[in-house]
Amino acid sequence: MHIPICKPQLDDAELAEVAQVLQSGWLMQGSKTEKFERLIADYIGTTYAVATTSCSTALHLAMRQCRIGPGDEVIVPSLTWVATAAAVEECGGRPVFCDIDPLTFNIDANQVESLISSSTRAIIAVNLFGLAADLPRLAQIACKHGLYLVEDAACSLGATVDGCQSGTFGRMGCFSFHPRKSITTGEGGMIVGHCQEDENSLRSLRSHGFRTTSKPGSPSVPYDLGDFDRVGYNYRMTDLQAAVGIAQMKKLDGIIARRREIAAKYHRELKGIQLFRLPVEPETYFHTYQSYVVMVECDGGSFDSRAQAMKQRNKIMLKLQNDGIATRPGTHAVHTLSYYRQRYDLTAATCPYATDAMNLSIALPLYPSMTESEIEYVIARCRSAVAEVGSGSSVATH
């Protein structure tokens, strides 16, 4: 078998939407983008949704809107895709890395307040792998200290806490439509929120800083070039991308349901592997399982035991690869990456749980079109790989 880490669910519905765009002759940001934005805003329950080229650019715009600049600090979790920290750097700010809760992979809210200084301006909460962070607690902390809370909800479209959608707890929420996410537009992102001032500014910033000079409600005239009262960017989604997104939104609930169904089977069948620690879904949380990430358990906290566990993790991944099963580490511990490590004089021990999560995690294949035989094959080969690696690990029998 050949089983990829992910596979978008695409069919004739996407082709039909894209065909409409091609037939219209209008390929750039237009009516399809507006429709896709409204579908996202309605689904999440926000006042606005502003489409962008990616979640990375959405985060950059969010930091711009929060007026992050030189001398400002923004608290971010270390375990995340590098774009979270890069959005702060791009505005001249400094990302301050916070360690994670090792059970949820998300930012440890208990550590956040200790990192707040007189220079702190914002907190970015990453909802990793489809599970929301402790957003109610983080919102309280942000409010208490007068900070912006921005959600990096790249992985968490449809995830909830106490029935409230991820992306709605902070000043702004940023989503991704990369092919590894629950729905895709190939590349693409979205910023959501409730503040009209933010919406107007974000729409300007994504279009080079444009603002119209026509009076509201007046008809357009061919000689109105508009004005540019700020430095902006070309972060506009095309109608071709939005057309795919429109078709994908119709499938979203079914996609999430199927992901949870596969995750439940992984839970049942992998819990006997003592070397694996499985992902959790805290009470009142709704996990969408954008990724199903297991941790290779470490026998003790010493450097040698961590190194041994990492070797075991790598051997398991190589054995699965030889069996035709694609895997990946969960994601980076950004504080260990060369740029950030050298710029801020950081070490792996700065955020030890994030370092472990990078070095000891395995993301298993999970996508809606996985067949039962493919799921069972992944489970069987996981059990076999762990048994072959051995070295103190044991596998329960069914």
One domain, residues 117 and 213 = yes
Asked if 205 and 352 sit in the same domain, the reply is no
- Judged against a pLDDT cut of 50, whether residue 396 lies above it is answered with no
146 pLDDT higher than 70: yes
Number of structural domains the chain divides into: 2
pLDDT of residue 25: 95
> Does 260 lie in the same domain as 243?
no
Q: Alpha-carbon distance 310 to 108, whole Å?
A: 23
pLDDT above 90 covers what percent of the chain? Answer: 90
**Both 351 and 292 in a single domain?**
yes
Strands 361-364 and 292-296: antiparallel
Residue at a domain's end among 186, 220, 249: 249
Q: Mark which of 187, 214, 249 sits at the end of a domain.
A: 249
Position 6 in a domain: no
Asked whether residue 146 falls in the same domain as residue 258, the answer is no
Burial class (CB in 10 A: 0-12, 13-18, 19+), 126: buried
Same domain, 220 and 285: no
Expressed as residue numbers, the domain containing 47 is: 12-249
Residue in 81, 75, 189 with CA at minimum distance from that of residue 124: 75
Clarify whether residues 275 and 208 are in a common domain.
Answer: no
The pLDDT value given to residue 393: 44
Task: Report residue 390's pLDDT band, with 50, 70 and 90 as the boundaries.
Answer: confident
Tens of pLDDT, residue by residue over 347-374, are 999 999 999 999 999 999 999 999 999 9
Are 282 and 378 part of one and the same domain?
A: yes
Same domain for 92 and 192, yes or no, is yes
Within a domain: 24? yes
pLDDT at 225: 87
pTM confidence score: 0.94
Got the DSSP string for 14-29?
Answer: HHHHHHHHHHHT--SS
**Is 398 within the bounds of a domain?**
no
**Mean pLDDT, residues 101-121 taken together:** 98
Say whether both 316 and 210 belong to one domain: no
The CATH number of the domain where 345 resides is what? 3.90.1150.10
